[in-house]
Chain A
Amino acid sequence: MNIMTEAAAEAALEKKMNTVPLKMVGKDVSVYYGEKRALFDVNLDVRENTVTALIGPSGCGKSTFLRTLNRMNDTIGGCRITGTITLDGEDIYDPSIDVVELRARVGMVFQKPNPFPKSIYENVAYGPRIHGLARNKADLDVLVEQSLQRAGLWNEVKDRLHESGTGLSGGQQQRLCIARAVAVSPEVILMDEPCSALDPIATAKVEELIYELRSNFTIVIVTHSMQQAARVSQRTAMFHLGNLVEENDTDKMFTNPDDQRTQDYIMGRFG
């Protein structure tokens, strides 16, 4: 390795990344809210078992793009989408695709922790219950425990599974929401600024968790913190004013971006 030139190392890494299969592919994706156009012909690939970070100044369309990936935009009145997005090669906006099934495969974690006003156990069991993923109570118990384990929350809550989820601290609530998403065993997990409402210590825990989850899930995360993107992601996409400015390996993006705007943003010239 050490005799390789820098350019050769870069090429090797690129080659390695390119061999990772594409989980989701967005092609010419545009989003309109009524008359207003929020996204302009975005082309973005999401690779399997990789963390892809979407960065950019606020209002740049990164959250909008994220929500198109599991059709959460459907719940907003007057929202229209053109272009195609595929999941394992299937167009998720095809009429034959069922949105409920899609969201079971592409889960989501939101900006503010939003546990249901139910017990911790019920929060995690919610997804498996509605989708019928557990055959019996014992199955469900196992599933809940595993999910909490994977979210790194088990040791903190195992003694109070039947207390309300809203009584946890902010960071714990967010990890509970991640456990809730994991419990459905989705293929992709979308995270919309999952740490923006958390303090630094809680943020560190969640970031650690995201890093670990990568081995089993494909993760797309929107973040306003470039440090966070650098810490947790392998690929980074930079959005600006509804356009995808640059998509690149995270290492490259933060050391030697191709685009002037990315460079300006990373240097803190705007944001």
Chain B
Amino acid sequence: MNEMIKPASGGLVPTAPTRRDIGIRRRYAAERRFRFYGLAAIAFGLAFLFILLWSVVSKGYTAFQQTEITLPIEFSEKVIDPGNKRATDPNVLVTANYPLLMRNALAEKLGVSATDRPALKQISAMVSDSARVTLRDMVAADPSIIGKTVPVTVLASANVDSAFKGQIDLSVAETNRKVSDQQIGWMNQLAEQGVLAKGFNTGLFVNGNSSRPEAAGLGVALVGSLYLMGIVLVLSLPIGVAASIYLEEFAPKNRLTDLIEVNINNLAAVPSIVYGLLGLAVFINFAALPRSAPLVGGLVLTLMTLPTIIIATRAALRAVPPSIRAAALGLGASQMQTIFHHVLPLAMPGILTGTIIGLAHALGETAPLLLIGMVAFVANVPATPLEPSTALPVQIYMWANEAERAFSERTSGAIMVLLAFLIIMNLGAIMLRRRFERRW
């Protein structure tokens, strides 16, 4: 390189040619390819978003409807209490053969002989096992019903429900599917008579868990998630705001606060399952709090959400211009008064937005709840946060592991419910931001 040294004004300098070939065509082709890759990447991401949502919705929307059978049932004393002992032994009414009532009523409606045992068995299989509970509860509530004929609505079995919703491929050989041709025929007959019909599935939102897909619902999970969110909100918002105020407004800049700062950033990135381990070791094993309880879940999710809220709150506090602080301090307010009277109210929309996003994140969190035992079969709605419960995402996990197709439908339905909550929360956060957004 060194042999070429000549004065700067020397003749070696290339004089600008009028037209140089600088490979424009080739370079623009590369440019177009590059742009295309970017577009393709975005399209890929969005395509998967839509496939995911489509796969959930297309499988799940039917979960909001449930096939029900409504017909008059004779609460025959012969069946319920053949020995007429109910006055002395209340157990009789609990253990009575209620499904038989249902079967008899259906058999009569369909004109099946009371002696045709195989047919009767098939009829029984068309009604959900939960019918037993429905009828028992009616009798328990009003024993005088015995002997009367009353119209009753019970759930159809999961297989009939699937068949009625058209989800069972009837071209499959009869022996390979769960509904026989005979049952399909009856189903259509009942539907024509108006006995069998689809209705809105309130059970999905009210019932606890059940091993029968048609009777399983999200009631417990919704209440559990509500407890969790309440606990997380009550704990993490004040603690998070207090911690942020200290770190942002009071903390001296030294190694310790630096450490806290790094620490918080790292906690935000710790895998959620580690928080589950923490909860298991500290809250359940050490502090002996009950397993499966929303209280423990709430504490774990609080610890998990805190870093998110602290980071958002600090950003919101930082966005309040120093002039506001200077103005209040200049009037003789103490630093504490300045913050609580002026800075905090101005930062509140940002803080709340961050909190809602943190809550939404906690609402969808599953892994830590599995470890503290919220993955339990709970049929009854918990009255306090100390009773066993599940949560919405955990219920989804449990149903996702069930083999029956009716559960798959319900899982998708449950996901739709979860996503609906998340959408509402995020829209709330966006609206809050839009409404109170302030530019300084």
Least Cβ–Cβ distance between A213 and chain B, in angstroms: 9
A130 to B18, CA, bound (A): 18
The 10 closest A-B CB pairs, nearest first, are A131-B22, A141-B1, A187-B16, A150-B8, A149-B8, A185-B16, A185-B14, A132-B23, A142-B4, A104-B22
Q: Does B27 contact A (CB under 8 A)?
A: yes
Interface residues of A in 138-166 (CB under 8 A from B): 141-146, 149-150, 152, 154
In the bound complex, residues from chain B placing their C-beta under 8 Å from that of A212 are 8-9
Contacts of A144 in B (CB 8 A): 1
How many angstroms from the CA of A72 to the CA of B178 in the assembled complex? 71
Query: 1/0 per residue B4-44: CB within 8 Å of A?
Result: 11111100111111101111100110000000000000000
Docked complex Cα distance between A96 and B27 (Å): 16
Which residues between 355 and 391 of chain B lie within 8 Å of chain A, taking CB atoms? Answer: none
**In the complex the two chains form, what is the Cα distance from A212 to B6 in whole Å?**
15
Q: With a CB–CB cut-off of 8 A, which chain B residues contact A145?
A: 1, 4-5
Complex-state Cα separation, A88 to B16, whole angstroms: 13
Asked, given contacts A149-B8, A212-B9, whether A133 binds B16 with beta carbons under 8 Å apart, the answer is no
Interface of B is mostly: loop
B22 with A146: CB separation less than 8 A? no
Complex-state Cα separation, A243 to B1, whole angstroms: 49
Contacts of A154 in B (CB 8 A): 5
> A186 at the A/B interface (Cβ < 8 Å)?
yes
**Assembly CA distance A146 to B4 (angstroms):** 8
Other A-B pairs beyond A146-B12, A149-B7, A185-B17, 12, CB < 8 Å: A104-B20, A104-B22, A132-B22, A142-B1, A142-B4, A145-B1, A149-B5, A150-B13, A152-B8, A185-B14, A186-B16, A216-B15
B residues near A146, Cβ cutoff 8 Å: 4, 12-14
Residues of A within 8 A of B (CB): 88, 98, 100-101, 104-105, 130-133, 141-146, 149-150, 152, 154, 185-187, 212, 215-216
Q: B13 — which chain A residues lie within 8 A by C-beta?
A: 146, 150, 216
Give the distance in Å from the alpha carbon of A131 to the alpha carbon of B14 in the complex. 15
Measured in the bound complex, the distance between the Cα atoms of B27 and A88 in whole Å is: 24
Q: List 19 A-B contacts (CB under 8 A).
A: A88-B18, A98-B24, A100-B22, A100-B24, A141-B1, A145-B1, A145-B4, A145-B5, A146-B12, A149-B5, A154-B5, A185-B14, A185-B15, A185-B16, A185-B17, A186-B16, A212-B8, A215-B9, A216-B13
Give the number of residues in B that approach A within 8 Å (Cβ atoms).
21
Contacts of A215 in B (CB 8 A): 9
**B27 and A100 form a contact (CB under 8 A):** yes
Cβ-defined contact, B5 with A131, below 8 A: no
Q: Are B22 and A133 in contact (CB under 8 A)?
A: yes
Q: Are A131 and B23 in contact (CB under 8 A)?
A: yes
A88-B12 Cα distance, complex, nearest whole Å: 24
B18 to A, closest residue via Cβ: A88
Chain A proximity of B209: nearest CB distance (Å): 55
Cα(A98)–Cα(B20), bound, Å? 13
Chain B residues near A185: list those with CB within 8 A.
14-17
Tell me the complex Cα distance, A144–B4, Å.
11
A130 CA to B22 CA in the complex, in Å? 8
Q: Which of B7, B9, B16 has the most CB of A within 10 A?
A: B16
Q: Smallest Cβ distance from A132 to chain B, in angstroms?
A: 5
Q: Using Cβ atoms and an 8 Å threshold, which residues of chain A touch B27?
A: 100, 130
Residue of A nearest to B21 (CB): A132
A105 to B8, alpha carbons, bound, how many Å?
A: 20
Minimum Cβ distance to chain A for residue B105 (Å): 73
What separation, in Å, do the CA atoms of A142 and B6 have in the docked complex? Answer: 11
Chain B residues whose C-beta falls within 8 Å of the C-beta of A186 in the assembled complex: 16
A98 to B6, CA, bound (A): 35
* Chain B residues within an 8 Å CB radius of A133: 20, 22
CA distance A141 to B7 in the complex (A): 16
Complex interface: chain A residues within 8 A of B6 (CB): 149
Question: Complex Cα distance A39/B4, Å?
Answer: 46
* A152 neighbours in B (Cβ, 8 Å): 8
**A121 vs chain B, min Cβ distance (A):** 10
Question: How far, in Å, is A1 (CB) from chain B's closest CB?
Answer: 27
Q: Which of B1, B6, B7, B23 has the most CB of A within 10 A?
A: B1
Kindly state the separation between the CA atoms of A257 and B1 in the bound complex, as whole angstroms.
49
With both beta carbons as reference points, the residue of chain B lying nearest to A132 in the complex is identified as B23
| Complex alpha-carbon distance, A100 and B31, angstroms | 12
What residues on A are CB-neighbors of B1 within 8 Å? 141-142, 144-145
Chain B residues contacting A105 (CB-CB under 8 Å) are 16
Provide the bound-state CA to CA distance between A150 and B6, in Å. Answer: 10
Q: How far is the CB of B9 from chain A (nearest CB, A)?
A: 7
- The CA of A144 and the CA of B5, in the complex, are separated in Å by 11
Residues in chain A near residue B23, CB distance under 8 A: 131-132
Contact partner of A101 (CB less than 8 A), chosen from B5, B7, B9, B24, is: B24
Closest-CB distance, A99 to chain B (whole angstroms):
10
Q: Which residue of A lies closest to B7 (CB)?
A: A149
A residues in contact with B16, CB < 8 Å: 105, 185-187
Please tell me if the beta carbons of A101 and B22 are within 8 angstroms of each other in the complex: yes
Which residue of chain A has the shortest Cβ distance to B25 in the bound complex?
Answer: A98
Min C-beta distance of B150 to chain A, whole Å? 73
Chain B: minimal CB distance from A180 (Å): 15
Residues of chain A lying within 8 A (CB to CB) of residue B4: 142, 145-146
* Residue of B4, B6, B7, B28 contacting most chain A CB atoms (<10 Å): B4
Per-residue CB contact flags for chain B residues 75-92 toward chain A (1 = under 8 Å, else 0) read 000000000000000000
